[in-house]
Every structure is written in C-alpha cells, then in structure tokens.
Structure 1
Amino acid sequence: MRWEQANYSKAILPEYQGNPLIEALPKKANDSDVIEKFCNYPDLSSHIRTSLDYLEREEYLARIDELRQPLPQYIECFRAIERAIKSGYLAKNPLTPTTMQYLHYPVDARPNVEPATGYFVPKGKGITLIGDSGVGKTCMLEQVLSYFPHVIEHGNYNGKPLDFKYQVVWVKVDCPRNSSVRELCEEILFSLDSAMRNERTTPGTTIPKLLTQIEQKIKSSHLGILVIDEMQNLQFKRTGGENNLLKFLHHIVNKLGVPLFFCANPPFDDSLALTLKNARRAESGRTIFMKPLQRHDIGWESFIAELWDLQWTNVETQLSDELNDKMYELSLGNIDMACRIYCEAQQLVIGTGDENITSAVLEYAYPVACSLSSRTNEVIEARQNLILPRRTAKQNTVPNTLKTKLGKPRIIGDYNRPHHPEFEVRLRELHLTDKLLHMIVDPDLIQRGIATGNVPTYMQDVGILCDESFIFSEFREL
C-alpha cells in the first residue's frame, strides 16, 4: 500500500482546476512514460549460468513469475481508469458548497436548500474488463492501479489548510461467491479502514445500517474508484441475491458518484447483456476485452522475447522460429501458461548434463506445468482451432555444455537424450497415456515365442527384434 504526500499540479482542463482531489493525482504523462512504469524485467544475473551448482540455478527460476511485459491493452485500461477517477472527482471539489452538503447529508435526505454551486450531480462511470483466466487481467490491473498512490495525504492547498486529510484513490475487492451484499459491504469497509489505517469498523446488524456505514466511509475517504475482481462469481439465479448486489453497486455509482471497475472472466459479459440498464452502466466508461495473444502480434513477440531471456541453463538456447511456434502452440497465447511451461522446461533440464531447450523438452514440460488447464474445454477447443505454419529446417543447438554437477535424473525417456532425441516424443506419449493396454497390438506375442523354444529367432521372423550385431557382421562380409 503506497502512501504519498499531496503534490499538486495544475490540471489541464479548466473544470478540473482548483480541485485538490484531481490536482493531487499523478501529473498527466505520455504513453511511453506510462508504459515504463508498468514494466518489470527481473535481473538476469547471467553469471549464474556458469554456476556448477544446479540447485543455485534452479532457484533463479522463481524470477520468471516477476516478469511484467506491458501489452497494448495496458494503456487503454490506464486511460479509462484515469478518466473515470477525474470524472468522479469533478463533482466533489471539497472547496465548494455542493460537496460540503454532499458530505454532511445522506444522499436520500439532503435539505431542500440548494447550495450556491448547485446540488450534487454524480459523475460515476462503469468500466468492465473481460478476459479468460490466465490472459493477464489481474496482472495488468495491479500494474495499472500501482501507477496511482493508494492513499494521498493532504496538507495545505494554495497556502490554506483543507478540512480533510486523506484521499483514498482506489480500493480493490473480490466479488463474493454467493453474491452476498453483506459480504461485499464488509469487504469494502475493511479495505477502506485498512487504507486509512483505522480500526476495523463493526459492521451494522442490518443491510440498511451497513449501507449507511458504506456511504459514510466512501464519502469520508474521498474514494476515487472501486475495483471489484472475480465478477464472474455473480451467477444470475432465481434467488435474487445477484440482483440485490447489482442494485447496491448501481447505488454507489448513481447516488455517490463513485466509478466502478468490474474485472471478470466470460460469461460475465453475457450476464450484463441480459438487460440494457446493466450493460449501459457497466460500459459507460469503457469495455475492455483481453484475449490470448496471437502468434504474430507485437504483443506475443514482445512477451516471448523477454520471457526467453530469463534462461538459467548452463548453455544458452536461442529463440528460433521453431521454438517460438512450439511455445505458442502449447500455451495458446496464454501468458500464465507460457510462463509455467518455460519454467518447467528449464526445471527439467537443469542438472541433467544436457541443458539445451528443445521442442521435445517444451512438449514434455507442458502436461507437467498445465496438467489441469490442458483438460479444460476452453483449451481443448482453442487447440482444435489452432493453425500454425510448420518448419522443415532443423534447429541449430549449441553442442557445448559445462560439466555441471549432476544431481537428478533426466526427463522420462531422456536417459540417453543426447544420443537418441528422436525417441523423446514417442516415449513421452507412452509414459503419459492412460490407455497403455489398448496400445499393445499383440499381447500373446511373447507366449507364442516361448512355445517355439527359440524366442530370439521367432522375434526376428515376425519383425519385432532387430539384432544390430548380426546385421553389422553380415554387412562386413559383403
């Protein structure tokens, strides 16, 4: 949680000027400067590659999880949040009589005396982010939100003291699985108390009392935007709990003017589309769709280049088109799956004596790293629709490796990997199949061979046994 002292900068829009809540926000920056803030490239520490201790190199694989490569949607998401926060604060300038009335009276019980600057008119917007699990929604959201301070501490503005001290720019909570209004309210209360470093508020015993507490907390904290993750938990059933939750969220936007940010997996967008009212409110600020990266998009090329650099094997394997295609084929452009596959591939070869990363190694790493994801309907369907060009050229790999200490066996089917790499794929299929008995074409073959009294000769006759020494001796006689 990041606290900052208010540093006021004159707003660009005239209507934003003179509003300390807006002018305390980070100064407007161009896209390239913003993107730099979102990047996180772990230190490679390339000297570790020469370490003879394979355990030390394995430990560095944890840094793969720290990689943050901004994608094109980052700027779109950032600008939407930036606009929504400023728009929400526009009607809440703490120096105006309008806001003073808004802060001191419940929204449904304001006096009939209109302030000199007019009644409070909420300006809250709704932003919705939709994307499959693993495409990087939460990661992007965390990076974008981290651009803004969590809490801004105010002092004097233009030489005059302010009547308030703290401004909570954003809070992020998860949607309860049972669509409970009470659980969401309690989570929001706790998050606001935590942000302002207050003691935890005892929740009201009834929903109306709880809603009153929420209203008071949101007002006193000058909340900029409320982010709700895991909105796919909102299941539309006959019980009506989800409708009550939506009504509560609409109350926050319509009455308090606080922008909402929904983050969810499909089919949350289909649920919102059931009614025009829900759809209109959820998309008033922006609707952003995040899909798995496409093979030849700049997003994938940028991501895979940065990911592949995080390599702690004792021999550096260059990213060829073949390996790039294989990574995309296995991960389907899913960032989370790609990171897990690549980490597992290095885990498999480090300390084996041959630490080259090949397509076969990536294929073996896939079912280990994505054993559950690979069986989901989304992945199966996407894999059926995947079409990639195939390379005919062989990959050039570096033959020289350091004589590292061997501390673990090689991957299954890999005890002789340097000598017979062509067997890896077939051996892996045999190892992973759950229908091994069905793959045995002739289960009585050995018994018939024993019955002949000469098993080797029988096996040669039926084409099962290849006696290489016999063939070689015959060749020499020719």
Structure 2
Amino acid sequence: MRNKYYTDFKISQYEDIDENSIQLINSTKARYIEPTEITYLGNPLIEALPPTLDMESIFLRVEKIPPYIDEERNKTEIERLEAIYRLNDYRFPFTKYYEVGLKISIALKRGYINKRIFSPDYTDSLKELNLILNNSANEIKEFKEGFLNMTLASSAPLGFSIIGVSGAGKSTTVNDILSFYPQVIHHTEYEEQKYYFAQVTWIKVDCTYDGNIKGLCQKIFYEFDKVLKTNYLQKYGNSRFSIDRMIIAISYLCMKHGLGMLIIDEIQHLKCSKRQDEAALNFFVSMMNEIKLPIVYIGTYKAIKHLSKDGRHIRRSMGIGMTEFRYLKDDAEFEMFLGELWEYQWVKNKTELTDEIKKLFHERTAGIVDLSVKLFMTVQFEAIRRGVEKITSKLIKEVANEKFALSKELTDAIIKYDINKLMKYEDLIAPADMEELFENCRHEVMSRSQAMEILKGEERKNSRNKKELINELRLFLSELGYNYNDFLNIVDELISIEGIRKPVSYLKQRLIKQIVLSKPQEVNGKKETKRINKKNITIDLTEDIKTIELP
C-alpha cells in the first residue's frame, strides 16, 4: 500500500519548514503530494516537489515589505539612515514573478518526467555515463564527435532564457522563486520501499567576467559539493581533466543526484571567442539536452550574441520560450509600485507623490525597478545628510545627475526597445554602491551629531567654564600686578581641589591666600618676593576678601 500523500498544507508541503516566507531550505526529508497531472503520477522526484502556485500565492510569498511606523521620522539622523536601508530588501510582486514561477515549475517537472529512479533505464543511463567518463582521451574525443553529429536534430529542450536590462529584477525574481523549492530533498521510503536518494532540485551558478566553459564546469562541481558535502571539484575539476571529460562528469552527476534544473546567470560574460570554446559550449548544451536537464539562461541583451551565434544555442534555450525583462512603462503598474514604495519615507517632512515626481522618477530610472528603489533610498540619504529633511524634485534631479547618470542614448534604447543598441551595453551605468553611499552619509551625519553632542555636552560646558574662570583669575592677578604665568601651579591646584562650581569671589579669596602663603616665586631664573598691597585688595576684591588675615 502506497504511503499516504501529504495533505496538511495551504500552499506548499514544506511551508512549516520555511514559515511561508522567502528563505532557502537547504535540505529536507521528502514529503509527497498527489499530482493533478497524470503523467507525473508514481514519480517520487516530481511528487516531492511543491505544487505549481497560482498568481496570488506567488505574490503573497514574494512580497517583502520593510517594517515601518510614521513615528520613526522623529528618530535621530543615524537611526533613520539605518531604517532607510531596510528598502534594500524591498520586494514588489510584479507580474513577471508569476510568469517565471510558472515556467520554472513546468520545466522542473517536464525534466523529471522520464527520470524514474527505480526504472532499469535510469540505472542503465548512469552506468553508461560512468563508463564514458572513465574512457581514454581518444575515446572521449570520438564519443563527442559522434554524439554531436547524432544530436543535431535532438528533441526539444526544456529550459528557457531570461533576458533584459541590468537592474530589471531578473536574478532577484529567479532567486525568490527558487526559494520555494528545497534545494536537496532526501528520499528514504516510497510505496513501502525503503531506499535513499538525495535529489538536488536546482543549482545556480554565475558566470564571472570573461569566464569560460572550464570555469563554468568547475563552478557546477563546487555547487554540488556545497549542497551535498562532497568533493567533486577536487575529483573532476582538477587540471588533469579535460573540458570534455568535465562535461561528461557533470552529466553523470546530474543523473546520479537527480538534478532538476541548472540556472546560469550573467551568461553574457561567458567567453566563446575561440573555436574550441564554441565547440565546448555546443557539447555542453547538447549533453544537458540529452539527459533532459532544463537550463535557464539569465543575462543582458548582450547574451543574445552568445546564444545565437549559429542559431543552435538560442533554439536550445527556448524550450518554453524567452522571458524578457523590459523596463516598466509609465503606466498603472509603475504607478502602483512607486506609490507603495513612496510610503516608506524617513525624512522629517513627508512629501506627497505628485504626477511631476512620478514622471521625473520614470525619466531618471527608465522605469527600471532596482534603480527606482536605489534612487528613492539615496534621495532620502541626501535629504538627511544635507539637513533639508524633505524629498523635492530639485533634490531628485541633483541626486540622479550625480549618482544615477544614465546616458540619453542608453535611456532611449531602453524606452524605444532598440535591441541592437541594447546589445552594445555590457551593463547599465550602475549607481554608486549603496553600501558606500550609506556609510558615507552615516559617517558625515554621525560626525555632525557627535559635534552637536560635544557642543551641548557637559564635558564641553565644564571645559568652557574652566577656561572662562582661568581667564578671570588671569585678569584678577594682572590687576594686582602679578604675572599669571608665575602662579600657574597654584591656580591649577586650586581649581583641582575646589572645582569650578564655587563662587568666583571665594576662589579669588583662596587664590590670594595660597599666593601669600607660598614660597618666594622664581621669576626669570631669580627668586623674587612680592607682597600684596592691602589697599589694592580692599579696592579690587569683594566684601568676602576683606576678612583675609594677611601675615
């Protein structure tokens, strides 16, 4: 009798593990749910996956709003600067989230549909890949050539591409959707059959700038090691392994661990300038397609050059179409996004979102979400730093010009959707790093705050009062005909003992007594004795000093 399906959930069978929020579940025991699609029945790799979510469920999970109360605008400058930084994790659920979420769910399940881990075919495929992996270099070369000729007209791929301008939210959207899926699912029993299988649902790698196929392969080994605690990078990614052998090793590991999807981000950085690089990429894509592994390519418009050099890569990345992240038009969706973002103001004087400001924001960010959020944050940083404590059109223009300067050519290319021009740009001209902006503003505000505290502080008041007292005692001794410098030690000792809070008249009285009782002062290297004229004392001192008994 089959194990009962897991039914006690609202959105996902793993929701009590991730608390129904966006956070990566690294590893969990399998919980099977009954699929509605009949071709998925009886496949534990599919039944262990969360269900395909509807738009409302996706929106509820991805939306991430920062904590905010209006009274926070009365906090200190430093506290408000730190509060503004909460917006760095702000998520607004755009319709693209649903499109990407649906495609990832479909691609995962379609990739697993023929991977039934208890079937002889699955076991035979693993054995065959293992044998090829251990072949000689010449045998590997022969296999590659024969394989590529055989698979030119292979079945349709299962992945897709996500292309768009930098900062449009491509990677963020994919990362948030991937967080719905446990990255490693441990299977221990299915239909009363005990077994163990570690299913890796997805792996995501980033292409470093000027990266190559070898580096990409090594990153894939590293990601397997990270989630499974293995040592595949050391075993298969070392210098003794050719790129072709690495590709075969990856194919073997993808089958061995039931990899559901490979996501390659920043694909525009992949270097395929040489003929052998192009051949390696062909072999890599063909092998992944052969083992029915969905690949999701993420990149800027420049990536189209890599994916469509000979027409084959782009076809193989278009299994269920290309998702394009364009700018947000100046329409209802952008207005709703900016309207909700605008509520999070930590400046002292709140500004209403006018049509002029909406238009200005759209013009200066080209409707790019990431730039819009960062511009909003930076304008508030500057409003607090400068002490204006209000968002104005003038301030928005100044901040945009200084830190978010997009060339008119690039802005026009985005808005007019000029693909040829967009393909010229590696990335948008990125704004200054938010960490750096925040730290600079915080440092300046903190320095200003510290200065104000020092100016208002008790220590400064005491220091100021001491200086005023010393100046008064200096003048007093000068009027008596004495050089103040001759009695510095006496004055310091007096203030140290008596403090600065006592009446000046009393301190003058004590000073005179100390001078009279002191030994002859040494002036200019000679001992000299001066006596105080009683007449001067009685004239210049207060009534209290008249009581002093002079020797």
Q: TM-score range by the shorter chain?
A: 0.7 to 0.9
Cα separation, partners in 2 of 1:249 and 1:376, compared to 1, 3 Å: farther
Residue equivalent to 1:324:
358
- The structure with the greater share of residues assigned to helix is 2
The structure 1 residue matched to 2:94, chosen from 71, 75, 100, is 71
In structure 2, distance between residues paired with 1:150 and 1:244: 28
- Is 2:233 aligned against 1:201? yes
In structure 2, distance between residues paired with 1:200 and 1:107: 14
Residue equivalent to 2:205:
173
The percentage of counterpart residues that share the same residue type is 25
Cα deviation for residue 407 of structure 1 reads 7.2
Query: Does structure 1 conserve the Cα–Cα contact (< 8 Å) formed by 2:159 and 2:320?
Result: yes
Query: Does structure 2 conserve the Cα–Cα contact (< 8 Å) formed by 1:223 and 1:258?
Result: yes
Residues 228-281 of structure 1, C-alpha deviations (whole Å, 9 max, x = no match): 001111355344413422321221122x21110000101322443343322221
Query: Does structure 2 conserve the Cα–Cα contact (< 8 Å) formed by 1:135 and 1:334?
Result: yes
User: Once superposed, what is the RMSD of the aligned Cα atoms?
Assistant: 2.7
Cα deviation for residue 178 of structure 1 reads 3.9
Residue equivalent to 1:367:
401
Residue equivalent to 2:191:
158
Residue equivalent to 1:106:
129
Query: Does structure 2 conserve the Cα–Cα contact (< 8 Å) formed by 1:152 and 1:167?
Result: yes
Q: How does 1:50-449 map to 2 (within 5 A)?
A: 50-51=74-75, 53-106=76-129, 124-162=157-195, 164-199=196-231, 201-202=233-234, 203-204=237-238, 205-207=240-242, 208-254=244-290, 256-298=291-333, 300-350=334-384, 352-371=386-405, 374-375=406-407, 377-379=409-411, 381-382=413-414
Secondary structure of 2:160's aligned partner:
strand
TM-score (norm 2): 0.63
Cα separation, partners in 2 of 1:280 and 1:15, compared to 1, 3 Å: same
TM-score (norm 1): 0.72
Letter in 1 for 2:43: N
Cα deviation for residue 181 of structure 1 reads 2.1
- Is 2:31 aligned against 1:7? yes
Cα deviation for residue 80 of structure 1 reads 1.0
Residue equivalent to 2:507:
none
The structure 2 residue matched to 1:43, chosen from 50, 67, 70, is 67
Secondary structure of 2:112's aligned partner:
helix
Query: Does structure 2 conserve the Cα–Cα contact (< 8 Å) formed by 1:180 and 1:242?
Result: no
Secondary structure of 1:244's aligned partner:
helix
- Is 2:53 aligned against 1:23? no
In structure 1, distance between residues paired with 2:119 and 2:155: 15
Letter in 1 for 2:250: I
Residues 331-355 of structure 1, C-alpha deviations (whole Å, 9 max, x = no match): 1101121122111111111265542
Secondary structure of 2:317's aligned partner:
helix
In structure 1, distance between residues paired with 2:209 and 2:387: 48
Gaps of 5+ in 1: 111-120, 386-405, 410-478
Cα separation, partners in 2 of 1:323 and 1:252, compared to 1, 3 Å: same
In structure 2, distance between residues paired with 1:262 and 1:29: 22
Query: Does structure 1 conserve the Cα–Cα contact (< 8 Å) formed by 2:261 and 2:296?
Result: yes
In structure 1, distance between residues paired with 2:391 and 2:53: 41
In structure 2, distance between residues paired with 1:47 and 1:103: 62
Cα deviation for residue 376 of structure 1 reads 7.8
Cα deviation for residue 28 of structure 1 reads 3.2
Cα deviation for residue 200 of structure 1 reads 5.2
Cα deviation for residue 134 of structure 1 reads 1.1
How many correspondences in the alignment?
374
In structure 2, distance between residues paired with 1:101 and 1:81: 28
Q: Which has the larger radius of gyration?
A: 2
Cα deviation for residue 137 of structure 1 reads 0.9
Letter in 1 for 2:202: W
Cα separation, partners in 2 of 1:29 and 1:341, compared to 1, 3 Å: closer
Identify the range of structure 1 (316-325 vs 208-217) with the bigger mean alpha-carbon deviation.
208-217
Letter in 2 for 1:72: T
Identify the range of structure 1 (18-27 vs 206-215) with the bigger mean alpha-carbon deviation.
206-215
Secondary structure of 1:155's aligned partner:
strand
